[in-house]
Chains A and B, each alone.
Chain A
Amino acid sequence: MTHTDAAAVALARDGDSEAFRALVERHSRAVFRLAHRMTGNASDAEDVVQETFLKAYRQLSRFESRANFGTWVHRIAVNCSIDLIRARPHREAGHDATDLEQFGAAEATEPTLPSPERLMLSAEVQGRISDAMTSLSKMERAAFVLRHFEGQSIDEISRALGLKTNATKHSIFRAVKKMRQALEPFVAPPDNESLTAGGTRS
């Protein structure tokens, strides 16, 4: 926790709204990015930012001054995102698995592909990742983001999303499968080792 965060929290606890404003201005972008990763929607992410700071404000007295304010707010934002995902009507994304297979296959036949190293850095791949994430259902996206970016275990994710362990695993498996279908032609084309091994995995 930086000194300025600590000072701002102390002032905000005493009712100084300008101090809380400083905290909001310092951390709201990071919260938005996290919420957008979780929800995949800018409008939902804005709602999460709002809820997160409202909760933070109301719970300031419970915040331990030795803790990191950014980490604390980050945790609140994860929970708010999960609450929003669970509360909103279940909206599946517009793409289905077949679309994605066709998308992956079409891209794989492009004649000239630059090296994977260059592509990994390219804006095009970034766009593909974003598109592939859009193809995930809300639960797949939430489970994948919590596992991949937040480093939460499958058990933790199951508890957070209110799913059984197997359901969480399958959400992650489906998410990874969709990401692979969309990205593999760009970042991981078949290499020599698998070709020379002379077989296929079943």
Chain B
Amino acid sequence: MATQHLTDDDLILHYYGETSPGDERQTTGHLQQCGLCRAEYTRLQRVLASIDERSLAMEPGPAFERTVWARLEPALEPARRSWVGWLLTSPAPLGLAAAVVVLVVGAFFAGRALSPAPAAPTAAAVAAAADQIRERILLSDVGEHLDRSQMALVDLVSGDDNSTLDIASERSRAEQLVADNRLYRQTAEETGDVLLSQLLDEIERVLTDVAAAPEAGSSRDLADVRRRIESRDLLFKVRVIASEIRERQKIPIQRQAGPRS
């Protein structure tokens, strides 16, 4: 009589206790009777038992906690640092916003009065144009961020171990840049912009080290950071990508006119 052996999948489900109650009795019974399946199950047990948490544990570096905190702290106080908070809490931007609204509404009605009604664009055209505008805004923001980062890196590199670099101010600037950088890097990763995300990743690591520098430290504490910026040609890379972004910004947004009625 032919024996119906257990499959590898059956054994895996049995190992993890995921066999249905009805099949479990059958599986257990078969394992008691069948030497081949029992041996196979023993091998599976040995393999899976060898994969414990230690085997996958990757230990971060000794300054890990300090680095995590340096990246985290600016994000915990969004109201103090974010432009959204500034927009919502300060009266000056509210006045500015009101003026912009008045101008936009005025221009809208003036436009309607002076020109024939344009054909309505299709939903796809509107969406494509919106995408382009969003990308343009993002490019502009990233470009500015790279310029600010470049200035910070230049200040770091131009100091030497004995210079009187203001560590507290460099830390504070780096903290702000790290928080912004992280958002741009994640966006670049999500949109598949590999070069930009790699560059932002490198910048973030350098800035994070600056943000995590000891409060009472001296310029000498940033010697490693300086060497890293120079050895990886980080400034050169930032300049190249920033220039590329400026070129991309010059390309006009294509007009996606819908069908005219």
Contacts and interface: CB of A to CB of B under 8 A. Distances in A.
Specify whether A and B are partners: yes
Interface of A: 17, 20-21, 24-25, 28-29, 32-33, 36-37, 42-43, 45-47, 49-50, 53-54, 57, 87-89, 116, 120, 125-126, 129-130, 133, 147-149, 153-154, 169, 172-173, 176-177, 179-180, 183-184, 187-188, 190-191, 193-194, 196-197, 199-202
Contacts of B38: 193
B68 A53 contact: yes
Given A193-B35, A197-B39, A24 B47 contact: no
5 contacts: A54-B72, A129-B55, A184-B43, A188-B42, A188-B44
Tell which of A49, A201, A202 has the most Cβ of chain B within 10 Å.
A201
Interface stretch (B59-67, B99-107, B130-138, B229-237): B59-67
B165 interface: no
Given A53-B68, A191-B42, A169 B9 contact: yes
Contact of A116 (B12, B40, B46): B46
Sort A-B residue pairs by CB-CB distance and give the 5 closest, nearest first.
A194-B39, A188-B46, A188-B43, A197-B35, A25-B65
B36 interface: yes
B68 A57 contact: no
B48 A148 contact: yes
Q: How large is the interface on B (under 10, 10 to 19, 20 to 34, 35 or more residues)?
A: 35 or more
Contacts of B64: 28-29, 32
B65 to A, nearest CB: 4
A50 B47 contact: no
Nearest to A32: B60
Contacts of A201: 5-6, 36-37, 40
Contacts of A188: 42-44, 46-47
A194 B37 CA distance: 8
A184 B47 contact: yes
B192 interface: yes
A50 B60 CA distance: 14
Contact of B47 (A33, A173, A180): A180
A173 B15 CA distance: 12
Given A37-B57, A148-B48, A190-B39, 12 more contacts: A25-B68, A29-B60, A29-B65, A42-B60, A46-B68, A53-B72, A89-B192, A126-B55, A188-B43, A194-B36, A201-B36, A201-B37
Contacts of B24: none
